Amino acid sequence: MKWISFGLIALLFSCTANPTENGSISADDDSLESNIEVDSQYAENCILIDTIIELEEVEDIPEIAIEDIKEDKRISEVGRIDDSFYPNGSFGDQEEIPWTPLDHKIWDELLKRHVSSSGRVDYRGFKGDSRFNKYLIYLAANHPNSEWNTNETMAYWINAYNAFTIKTIIDNYPVKSIMNIDKAWDKKNINLGTKTYSLSQIENDILRKMGDARIHFAINCASESCPKLLNKAFNNDNLQRYLKQTTTDFLNDESKNNFKSNPIKISKIFEWYKEDFSKGDIISYINKHSTLNLPSDSKIEYLEYDWSLND
């Protein structure tokens, strides 16, 4: 047995008659849950339901959101619901809801469950967790817009990149390396909002253009030599703190960088994206984001990149 509350839509109706202009439906402004009026001439064969109805043995009744009503023209055509249905007039007259930071709680829970503190990823766990697809759908339905601030926008794209990298792996799992997946970074199959992206586009056309090279230590390419995947979600409030943390973790990881050797041996990430790091002054960048004080003329060698899966 299920209950349906009609806070905004206070009726279900089934009519064989064809309502005329006089057969309108309206709701009293003082109570949207009452005072449904239908021209009595066309009330025959109609079922009117006021406030709350009880249905027996009905399964899978979808929730009806305000945006569904706004977009579904059939409701207006069939129900003859005019602007008087809304307390403040038409949809255009409704008060705008102020921007609030996006909630990445589901992603945070998934990361804590399926990623270790050292960055090992349980891809089987992600594949078997129904919340993962729900989060991808959530990202698609909540695409950044002009009202978002920089922190929220960057956090969104970092989370999206990492989530869809994991999806790329589990769609091909088991696999030994992301390099074994055809066009893993270039395939445009990420639907967010009204646009379709590739992983490469998210990284190069969006994140890198935001001008903070620390993003290279926050996004993960599912490989051993990549910066480890943080087992926490980025969001509007923690972005700067987590960018600092992931950068420090990467620079201090001796499997990724060796600053004690001469010449110093560092990740190929610094070679591939050289211009992102203090406009090519890599030593200056490393000194700025660590406790090191490397000589400006330090010789550099780049370590071989291990593309083995980080599972």
Tokens standing for 253?
């990881």
**pTM listed for this prediction:** 0.70
The per-residue pLDDT of the chain, averaged, comes to 79
3-state helix, strand, coil in the chain (%, to 5): 40, 10, 50
- Determine the pLDDT at residue 99: 60
Higher pLDDT, 59 or 139: 139
Residue 146 CA, chain-centre distance (Å), reads 16
Burial state string for 29-49 with b = 16 or more CB within 10 A and e = fewer than 16: eeebbeebebeeebeeeeeee
Q: What is the model's pLDDT at position 101? A: 82
Rounded to an integer, the average pLDDT of 29-57 is 38
Query: What confidence score (pLDDT) does residue 238 get?
Result: 98
Here the tokens at position 226 are 């990549």
Range 234-260 average pLDDT = 97
For 229-241, what is the mean pLDDT?
98
pLDDT tier at 163 (50, 70, 90 boundaries)? very high
The verdict on whether omega for the bond into residue 295 sits within 30 degrees of 0, i.e. cis, is: no
- Lowest-confidence region among 61-65, 133-137, 159-163: 61-65
| pLDDT at res. 81 | 34
Inform me whether the pLDDT recorded for 26 exceeds 80.
Answer: no
Q: Which of 19-23, 129-133, 280-284, 305-309 has the lowest mean pLDDT?
A: 19-23
Q: Which residue has the tokens 């990420």?
A: 190
Structure tokens given for 201: 């586009």
The pLDDT > 70 percentage for the chain reads 68
Token pair, residue 251, equals 């620079």
**Res 98: pLDDT:** 59
Residue 114 pLDDT class (50, 70, 90 cuts): very high
pLDDT band, very low/low/confident/very high, at 100 (cuts 50, 70, 90): confident
Tell me the domain boundaries of the chain: 1-97, 105-302
Phi, psi of 2 (to 5 degrees): -130, 150
Q: Is the pLDDT of residue 121 over 60?
A: yes
Residue 230's CB is within 10 A of a number of other CB atoms, namely 22
First to last CA, the chain: 45
Half-sphere exposure of 71 (CA within 13 A, CB side): 5
In this prediction, residues 40-54 reach a mean pLDDT of 38
